[in-house]
Structure 1
Amino acid sequence: MGSTESTKGSAEAREKAPGQLTGAVVIVALVSAVSGMLYGYDTGIISGALLQITKDFGIEEAWKQVIAASILLGAVIGALTCSYLSDRRGRKGTLVMLAVVFAVGSIWCALAPNPVLLSVGRLVLGFAVGGATQTAPMYVAELAPPKYRGRLVLCFQIAIGVGIVIATIVGASESIPWRWSIGAAAVPAALMLVLLLRLPESPRWLVKRDQGDEARAVLERVRPSDYDVDGELDEMAELAHEEKTANTRGWSGLRAAWVRPALILGCGVAIFTQLSGIEMIIYYSPTILTDNGFSESVALEVSVALGVSYLVAQLVGLAIIDKVGRRRLTLIMIPGAAVSLFVLGWLFVSGHSGRESTPFIIACLVVFMLFNAGGLQLMGWLTGSETYPLAVRPAGTAVQSAALWGTNLLITLTLLTLISGIGVGPSMWLYGLFNVAAWIFVYYRMPDLTGRSLEEIESKLGAGKFTPADFARS
């Protein structure tokens, strides 16, 4: 007990220490940002590219959905596979492999002669996207000093928004052929690979593999000269020992009854981030608008506005989330997203979807993006890092990522077919109802974890006290 208290005390001291970022840690954050940008770019570029691809290949809705969704199937596979690989090969080794896959997938898609090979190429890209969401934030968290960990991990999420904005701007230019726009992602992938080759392995992974001397060398390289390396090594060793000796650990640990509330919360939030309609808007807004009489240039300009709205909302949300609270912010923002979809659906159902209603349609799309990206979307990756017990965290976050990407895949494969069957307006209403369901889920199942330590969260989970009321502050 005394050693545990001294470890916690030294951790708190390091948290408050002034310290400074070393060049190696800055490069680690840059690698994470590049991988996040590739995620946003590779998933977002298809929005504008589909208009050109449809003309080049002469495809219908079914193929459009397959091309857009293939990257998501790859992401499910990548998230699950890289959870295993990052434990076996190391965080850096896995990211090096993913950088190569990013580059190969981008070039493959750019050279694809038909929709079949294009879909396979995007499947390969998806493996890298899913693997990056699983591995990059963990790599940064395990190398960053405790004082800067949160801000550096957030580089990944912000970079996703940057990638989406770049993708929408490239698509809106209309002067860049789709093969060039998709293939251009190979350049940042190559940069990511070059940066990774200069970086060390995660010291926490090295400790888990009983390579303490190598872990010490890494910490001495990535920490300031006056930093308490011994204290951090002791903390890593203690956590590694707890993981190895825990009764509930790994994939089998997810079946434990006391872990189930965390799994339901994590996967439920992940599923609702997709059912809320965000991917429908990002992937298909140009296609939906052009199919309803809008010019391609207007549709692509709307995509840029949506991408910028996404990024701005994420930045604002991240700035206020710790002040407002995770649960409260989500409950405030979801109704705005739902109302915007209901109004948008009414515009199409009532026949007010012509040019005279263009400002109202665009306003609804932008308002939806602001409320959705600044609220529920922030929770998709955050809950996984906070909710699961330490010994099952890699498996839990892998399942949560797979749930998120799997739902995304289902939506992307069916959306255009759904719209063809029931129309744009009723489809918007359906997704508005999903937002209502998301609000109910958050209200009854999501405790406010703001300001709670990971140890406190795990303790309450183990005691069966994981409801919103159990975390309510007096």
Structure 2
Amino acid sequence: MSQKSTVDRQVTLPPLTSGPHRKRLGLISTVACLGGLLFGYDTGVTNGAEGPMAQDLGLNLIQLGVVISSLIFAAAVGALVCGRISDAWGRRKTIIMLAVLFFVGTLLVVFSPAPPEPGTFSLTGFAVLVCGRIMIGLAVGGASTVVPVYLAELAPFEIRGSITGRNELAIVIGQLSAFVMNAIIATSLGGIVDGVWRIMFSVSAVPAIALFIGMLRMPESPRWLTEKGRYGEALAVLESVRPAERAKAELREIEHVAVKEVEEHQIGLKAVLTNKWLRRIVLVGIGLSVTQQLTGINSVMYYGTRILEESGMSAQQAVLANIAFGVVAVIGGIIALCNMDRLDRRTTFIIGLSLTTTCHLLIGVAGMLLPEGNPARPIVILILVVAFVLSMQTFLNIAIWVWLAEIFPLHMRGLGIGVSVFFGWTMNGFLALYFPTLVGAVGISGSFFLFAGIGLLALLFVITQVPETRGRSLEDLEEDVSTGTIYHVVKPADAQHS
């Protein structure tokens, strides 16, 4: 596709106006983002629940690592499998299935049998607990791929970044909710009620039920319906979230691309294997997903209390201070949503990686210059880790999920984001499993110096390999990704001012 035709096609779409359709789109995104809320709560709840759980069930460090990392590795599988399921079965039905997995997995965790004597180990209880964590992990991984795709396919291109990015904001709100609930439950019920960690985990059953009921009333993705030849249904959905003329124009564009794919036999895995540009974009997606994890953000979100205790805080101080990570993550998410449709994706990636790498270096230096026992050490490290989380959430987390949801062509969107997120979750799992060992071996300074070195490589990768996606329709991006033009194209907004 030429640069001129790219501009012309964008201009032909009728403008996006206000009206009841905007409220409908807002409602759909709110309900779907309950999947992100569950994602955040279920990954954040262990940051505070791990201690009481290990003590109650008699878990050693290896067994505790298995319990925590089992969710992460299962999420990698869930991302890969559910992406494919959503391509075949539909985005909406897949999200409903994920709500059931969230709920059943929570029940298994909460009701995992306790050992016969306090402090002893029960293999049965451990097995049920891990099975529940695996089930929740499959749901978390599925939600991480399907919900962003569902939102991206429903949103108009002008506000696609802020609509799709709401899911990542929901994730950090879920994590913050987990930190707050853990602190409240631990301080009010700790030492009074046995098994307080079960209460911490049980809270997530409520949004799981709400997600299930809510998605029963939500529409299917219009782009998925068009790919399946269900044009009437697709138009009805588009007319509920767009002005009437805009809905018809978008459907024509979506239909044109979908028909062209079928005619050229460019569908799914076969198309990826035979098209070098599709293979390249999948590799770039994998690289960006892995880059997100190698910043160490989830190591902080999973083991924040452990990092703070290592810096010199008491266990109770660490649990309370850990809430700060969740608070600044939400603040950063709100700032990111405000800028998502104003700043280019590449610009946000470059700013974000520059800031997070700087924070890594400063944390490493602080850990070296401030010896253990220095009263300033925990305060300085807390401030720097908070700055890291704020930088990450403001410029990287939301933008990366939005980019992954919009870059892949329709016929392989679930496959593309599923494969990318699979590798991201796998890296996340290894970090979750080995991060405590890493900190124990090389300390806080060594761990964050390692993250800083990786950050410099990631910055080079983004500058040289990641294409821009902001301000263009999914169909427009699709043609340029399939032909490789995406690596050379001028953005419509730029072209109009040149």
CA distance in 1 between partners of 2:452 and 2:183 (Å): 27
Q: After superposing the two structures, state which structure 1 stretch, 55-64 or 69-78, moved more.
A: 55-64
Q: Does 1:81 align with 2:81?
A: yes
| Structure 1 gap ranges (5+) | none
Q: After superposing the two structures, state which structure 1 stretch, 83-92 or 37-46, moved more.
A: 83-92
Read off the aligned partner of 2:363 and give its amino acid letter: L
1:127 aligned partner: 138
1:181 aligned partner: 200
Post-superposition offset of 1:427: 1.4
Q: Does 1:402 align with 2:426?
A: no
Matches within 5 A, 1:213-292: 213-219=232-238, 222-223=240-241, 230-255=248-273, 256-291=275-310
CA distance in 2 between partners of 1:228 and 1:458 (Å): 20
Secondary structure in 1 aligned to 2:385? helix
2:117 aligned partner: none
Q: Does 1:378 align with 2:389?
A: no
Q: Tell whether the 8 Å contact from 1:61 to 1:417 is kept in structure 2 after alignment.
A: no
CA distance in 1 between partners of 2:469 and 2:160 (Å): 17
Read off the aligned partner of 2:257 and give its amino acid letter: L
CA distance in 2 between partners of 1:263 and 1:436 (Å): 22
- Residue identity over aligned pairs, in percent, reads 30
Matches within 5 A, 1:383-394: 383-394=403-414
Q: Does 1:312 align with 2:331?
A: yes
Q: Which has the higher contact order (CA 8 A, sep 6+)?
A: 2
2:216 aligned partner: 197
Matches within 5 A, 1:149-188: 149-173=160-184, 174=186, 175=188, 177-188=196-207
1:59 aligned partner: 59
Post-superposition offset of 1:25: 3.7
Post-superposition offset of 1:172: 2.1
2:118 aligned partner: none
Change (3 A) 1:64 1:287: farther
Provide runs of 4+ in structure 1 moved above 6 Å: 8-11, 468-474
Secondary structure in 2 aligned to 1:21? helix
Post-superposition offset of 1:464: 4.1
Q: Tell whether the 8 Å contact from 1:15 to 1:146 is kept in structure 2 after alignment.
A: no
Q: Does 1:117 align with 2:128?
A: yes
1:323 aligned partner: 342
Q: After superposing the two structures, state which structure 1 stretch, 72-81 or 419-428, moved more.
A: 419-428
Post-superposition offset of 1:459: 4.9
Secondary structure in 1 aligned to 2:276? coil
CA distance in 1 between partners of 2:339 and 2:110 (Å): 40
Q: After superposing the two structures, state which structure 1 stretch, 105-114 or 399-408, moved more.
A: 105-114
Read off the aligned partner of 2:432 and give its amino acid letter: T
Secondary structure in 2 aligned to 1:379? helix
Post-superposition offset of 1:57: 2.5
CA distance in 1 between partners of 2:448 and 2:66 (Å): 21
Q: After superposing the two structures, state which structure 1 stretch, 86-95 or 67-76, moved more.
A: 86-95
1:208-249 CA distances to partner (integer Å, 9 max, x unpaired)?
3333444455456x3578566544443443333133234433
Matched length: 470
Change (3 A) 1:108 1:337: same
- The normalised TM-score by structure 1 is 0.89
Read off the aligned partner of 1:154 and give its amino acid letter: G
Secondary structure in 1 aligned to 2:83? helix
Q: Does 1:20 align with 2:40?
A: no
Post-superposition offset of 1:31: 1.6
Change (3 A) 1:89 1:329: closer
Post-superposition offset of 1:467: 4.7
CA distance in 1 between partners of 2:182 and 2:363 (Å): 24
- The normalised TM-score by structure 2 is 0.85
CA distance in 1 between partners of 2:242 and 2:353 (Å): 43
Read off the aligned partner of 1:413 and give its amino acid letter: L
1:416 aligned partner: 436
From 424, 430, 447, the equivalent of 1:427 is: 447
Q: Tell whether the 8 Å contact from 1:444 to 1:467 is kept in structure 2 after alignment.
A: no
Change (3 A) 1:463 1:80: closer
CA distance in 2 between partners of 1:142 and 1:237 (Å): 14
Secondary structure in 2 aligned to 1:252? helix
2:386 aligned partner: 366
1:342 aligned partner: 361
CA distance in 2 between partners of 1:465 and 1:205 (Å): 24
Read off the aligned partner of 2:318 and give its amino acid letter: A
Secondary structure in 2 aligned to 1:287? helix
Change (3 A) 1:391 1:213: closer
Q: After superposing the two structures, state which structure 1 stretch, 95-104 or 20-29, moved more.
A: 20-29
Change (3 A) 1:395 1:423: same
CA distance in 1 between partners of 2:432 and 2:380 (Å): 25
Q: After superposing the two structures, state which structure 1 stretch, 59-68 or 435-444, moved more.
A: 59-68
Read off the aligned partner of 1:410 and give its amino acid letter: F
1:61-88 CA distances to partner (integer Å, 9 max, x unpaired)?
3222222211111211111111222233
2:91 aligned partner: 91
Post-superposition offset of 1:147: 6.1
Q: Tell whether the 8 Å contact from 1:142 to 1:202 is kept in structure 2 after alignment.
A: yes
Q: Tell whether the 8 Å contact from 2:13 to 2:250 is kept in structure 1 after alignment.
A: no
CA distance in 2 between partners of 1:463 and 1:200 (Å): 32
1:437 aligned partner: 457
Q: After superposing the two structures, state which structure 1 stretch, 311-320 or 210-219, moved more.
A: 210-219
Post-superposition offset of 1:128: 0.8
| Structure 2 gap ranges (5+) | 114-124, 190-195
1:398-439 CA distances to partner (integer Å, 9 max, x unpaired)?
111111111111111111122233333211211121111111
Change (3 A) 1:58 1:293: farther
1:30 aligned partner: 30
Change (3 A) 1:13 1:142: same
Q: Tell whether the 8 Å contact from 2:158 to 2:471 is kept in structure 1 after alignment.
A: no
Secondary structure in 2 aligned to 1:248? coil
CA distance in 2 between partners of 1:46 and 1:147 (Å): 38
Read off the aligned partner of 2:145 and give its amino acid letter: Q
1:374-393 CA distances to partner (integer Å, 9 max, x unpaired)?
22323331222333334332
CA distance in 2 between partners of 1:342 and 1:286 (Å): 20
1:313-335 CA distances to partner (integer Å, 9 max, x unpaired)?
12212322443422223222323
Read off the aligned partner of 1:50 and give its amino acid letter: E
CA distance in 2 between partners of 1:326 and 1:148 (Å): 13
